[in-house]
Amino acid sequence: MKTLLFCLVLLASGPALAAGTQYQLRVDGLACPFCSYGIEKKFMQTPGVESVKFDLEQGLVIVSVAKGIRLSEEQLDALIKDAGFTLRGVRELPPATAGGDTP
Amino acid sequence: MNRHSSLCLGLVLLGFSLLLSACGGASARESGYEWVQSWGGFGQEPGQFNDPIGIAIAGEEVFVADARNARIQVFDFDGRFLRQFGNREQLGRPMHLAIAQGKLYVADYWNDRIALFTLDGRWQGSLGRAGRAAGEFSTPSGVAVDDQGRLYVAEFHGQRVQLLDPQGKPLRQWGTGEKGLWYGRFNYPSDVALDTRGYLYVADAYNDRIQVFDSNGEFSHAWGGPFALNIAGGFDGWFRTAISVTVGPQDRVYVSDFLNHRIQIFTPQGELLDLFGEHGAGDGQFERPIDVAVAPTGELFVVDFGNHRIQKWRPKATRTGH
């Protein structure tokens, strides 16, 4: 029984334990879905990227990567540039604090 | 007028245009259209949307691309849900739509291809693949089909419009593949439409203009702000991101003026006929309208992207009901 409970707890906490770094990117002009989809598409084609969320009002892109994966500012800049935008700033967030709406 | 005077006048006009652009501007004209009803709302259930984008009409049915739900939903003219089709293997992010010869053509932004369905939802395969070569696509965003079944495809990141035969063989392209300001080049083109003469209309979204090419494919004219050269604003006939173009009865041209939260209606030459819409979430208000379909009776169905709903409008004079 104890083993079963432990397994259930482990299962429930799995995503938190496995969470990796999150990057908060400041990008201008994100109102249009063609734009945000383009950014999302570029990042989701990048190994290790698990999710991309947007806070359109704040002009933020929040990229979550798998544990152990790191993206350099140069990589982030190149991905944003590839999608047709200019990266205005990068902030690394602790895994649990990032929010954002999906546009 | 000598060259120096012309240059001075040009600079003065440009400065004035930029000043007007900075000031914005709003229309005080009364529209000939009235709001009828809205339907939808955010969600995954039938009749709800998560990023509705494209819209098209066949018979008395309205087809809507429900982008983040990766499906097509079909409604009657009163907003009653009829059916849905498409799954995540067939559709990534369905964008603008076209209906021709009994088929639905879907620009699939995510899978870099044009997906084909029968109107009752049976998968008919796809055309194209990811790439920058002729016949390949880089984020296709809009599609139009002529009476020979040839496809005109706008590529948002590809910065071009391609013409393909019905089997997907490339025939020609407009734009160089690089972003550009001058006529014949594009800055993230998002949609295409054809009129009864075979003229091609391109929503050149981030140049804030509509570009028109004649039936031989030659540049004909453009409109949107002074000189149609990427000066955005809120004045009548100007755009803040011209995100869709639709040609309706009498070759009237309907443009979703995305960040001005309104629909503008033009003659094929670009003369403004009407406009309606304001920013908000109430009846008749828009949060970034993104596409328009026109019924043969003149009713308009507008995709209200940010409010995740469809709005139906009708000409005030006709007041025809369904």
Give B110→chain A minimum CA distance, Å: 7
CA distances from A50 to A44, A63, B43, B298, B307 (A): 7, 8, 23, 46, 27
Alpha helices in B157-221 (DSSP H): none
CA distances from B58 to B274, B295, B304 (A): 25, 9, 20
Which tens digits make up the pLDDT trace of B220-274? Answer: 999 999 999 999 999 999 999 999 999 999 999 999 999 999 999 999 999 999 9
What is the pTM assigned to this prediction?
0.87
**Chain A partners within 8 Å of B155 (Cβ):** none
Test B95 with A34 for CB contact under 8 angstroms: yes
**Chain B partners within 8 Å of A102 (Cβ):** 68
Q: pLDDT at position B322, please? A: 42
Q: Select the residue of B110, B141, B241 nearest A41 (Cβ to Cβ).
A: B110
Q: pLDDT at position A9, please? A: 38
Distance, in Å, from the CA atom of A97 to the CA atom of B5, rounded to the nearest integer, reads 60
- C-alpha of B133 from chain center: 24
pLDDT at A46 over 90: yes
Consecutive H or E run containing B257: strand B253-257
Percent of the residues in chain B that have a pLDDT greater than 90, as a whole number: 89
Q: pLDDT at position A56, please? A: 78
Which tens digits make up the pLDDT trace of B146-203? Answer: 999 999 999 999 999 999 999 999 999 999 999 999 999 999 999 999 999 999 999 9
**Chain B partners within 8 Å of A38 (Cβ):** 139, 156-157
Which tens digits make up the pLDDT trace of A59-101? Answer: 899 999 999 899 999 999 999 998 888 899 999 987 655 444 4
Q: pLDDT at position A14, please? A: 40
Percent of the residues in chain A that have a pLDDT greater than 70, as a whole number: 73
Query: Tell me, what's the ipTM?
Result: 0.83
Determine the CATH number of domain A19-93: 3.30.70.100
Q: pLDDT at position A96, please? A: 55
Q: Where do the structural domains in chain A lie, given as residue ranges? A: 19-93
Q: Specify the residue for token string 């990048």.
A: A46
Residues in B lying within 8 Å of A, measured between beta carbons: 51, 53, 67-68, 93, 95, 109-110, 139, 141, 156-157, 179, 188, 190, 205, 241, 243, 258-259, 288, 290, 305
Q: What is the mean pLDDT of chain A?
A: 78
Residue B33's nearest CA partner among B252, B309, B288 is: B252
Test B305 with A83 for CB contact under 8 angstroms: no
